[in-house]
Amino acid sequence: MSVIIHHTSCPCCNSFEIEEALVTEDYSVSKEMFSIWKCNACTLLFTQNIPDENSIAPYYKSDAYVSHSDTKEGFINQAYHYVRNITLKTKRDLIKQQAKIDKGYLLDIGAGTGAFAHEMQQNNWQVTGLEPDETARNIALQKFNLKLFLPDTLFQFSKEQFDVITLWHVLEHVHNLHGYMQRFQEILKPNGKLFIAVPNYTSVDAAFYKRYWAAYDVPRHLYHFSPKSIEKLAALHGFMVTAYKPMWFDSFYVSMLSEKYKNGSQNYLMAFVNGLYSNVKALFNVKQSSSIIYVLTKIN
């Protein structure tokens, strides 16, 4: 039986200052409509009336969900894989720069088909990966000989076990938001780093596409973060945001999908123009980037 979650307060800061902000569609799987609400205290947007953790799996069952299927069919999916190969090295270098170590213990949450975990293993890191989707776990095993574990394994680790924890476009999918954040605090070493990459609804491309903005991705995206809401969430769990890094390719990828959702067909030129404009604005203010990597440092 499907269980629906209705929030009566903000799932980030628990404020009761919440109201409906917009209504949008699950364009990629179910075609159902979902309401997105806003917290006027911490500025988080969140999807209302969502399936609970045991009911949401059918909303991920689509080849359109490329991080689980590894499909390369169609131009957008081919672009995704091309960009991913570039960003693997970028992420690796960012971790080395921010953590100030060349190797250590890394936990990758939502490892997908294992490409990032494999990249870090190849560069002398001891990597543990967690992934809920069985198909994705099987691909990781077949492609990289990489055994990924179920998400509940998170609560079995020792305290202060990891130097680095990464969530690449994952936190917006996590039902147990505060439980996970508190657990990250416990299993990171002193001054350990938590890397959180999430879409940014305060970006220029989000403002342009409005309800067609592909990164809303309801109901899979339970939360839609702003820099202010991430800062609030970090502070609640003993972290400080110590760096903000733009994800330059995301604006183009999201704009390509958004054009399709808005017009019913692809317009690659318009997507490129809008993605480029979003990035130009982000050059002057990283907090306007389409997606942001937040580097959180454990402070207590």
What is the average pLDDT across 161-184? 99
- CA 172 from chain centre, in angstroms, equals 5
What is d(CA 231, CA 237) in angstroms, rounded to the nearest whole number? 10
**Does position 162 have pLDDT exceeding 80, yes or no?**
yes
Q: If you write DSSP's letter for every residue of 121-163 in order, what string do you get? A: HTTT-EEEEE---HHHHHHHHHHH----B-GGGGGGSPTT-EE
CATH code (residue 246): 3.40.50.150
The pLDDT value recorded for residue 294 is 99
Structural domain containing residue 10: 4-298
The pLDDT value recorded for residue 85 is 79
What is d(CA 292, CA 286) in angstroms, rounded to the nearest whole number? 8
What is the average pLDDT across 83-103? 92
Q: Which amino acid belongs to residue 198? A: V
Structure tokens at 124: 């002398």
Structure tokens at 220: 């899979």
Does residue 86 sit in helix, strand or coil?
Answer: helix
**Does position 40 have pLDDT exceeding 80, yes or no?**
yes
The pLDDT value recorded for residue 265 is 87
**Does position 78 have pLDDT exceeding 80, yes or no?**
no
What is d(CA 2, CA 20) in angstroms, rounded to the nearest whole number? 23
Q: Which one of 1-5, 13-17, 87-91 scores highest in mean pLDDT? A: 13-17
What is the average pLDDT across 66-81? 59
**Does position 98 have pLDDT exceeding 90, yes or no?**
yes
Residue 279 in contact with residue 218, Cβ under 8 Å? Answer: no
What is d(CA 161, CA 107) in angstroms, rounded to the nearest whole number? 9
**pLDDT tens digits, 210-220:** 999 999 999 99
Confidence of residue 77 (pLDDT cuts 50, 70, 90): low
**Does position 208 have pLDDT exceeding 70, yes or no?**
yes
Across the chain, what does the average pLDDT equal?
94
Q: Any idea what DSSP says for residue 262? A: H
Confidence of residue 75 (pLDDT cuts 50, 70, 90): low
The pLDDT value recorded for residue 66 is 56
Provide CB contacts within 8 A for 266, sequence distance 6+. Answer: 75, 256, 259, 260
The residue among 249, 245, 243 whose CA lies nearest residue 215 is: 249
The pLDDT value recorded for residue 83 is 73
**pTM of the complete model:** 0.93
Percent of the chain predicted with pLDDT > 90? 89
What is the average pLDDT across 201-217? 98
**pLDDT tens digits, 107-138:** 999 999 999 999 999 999 999 999 999 999 99
The pLDDT value recorded for residue 274 is 96
What is d(CA 104, CA 199) in angstroms, rounded to the nearest whole number? 28
Hunting for tokens 């954040």 — which residue is that? 181
What is the end-to-end Cα distance of the chain in Å, rounded?
41
The pLDDT value recorded for residue 2 is 77
The pLDDT value recorded for residue 3 is 92
Total number of domains in the chain: 1
Confidence of residue 74 (pLDDT cuts 50, 70, 90): low
Residue 253 in contact with residue 79, Cβ under 8 Å? Answer: yes
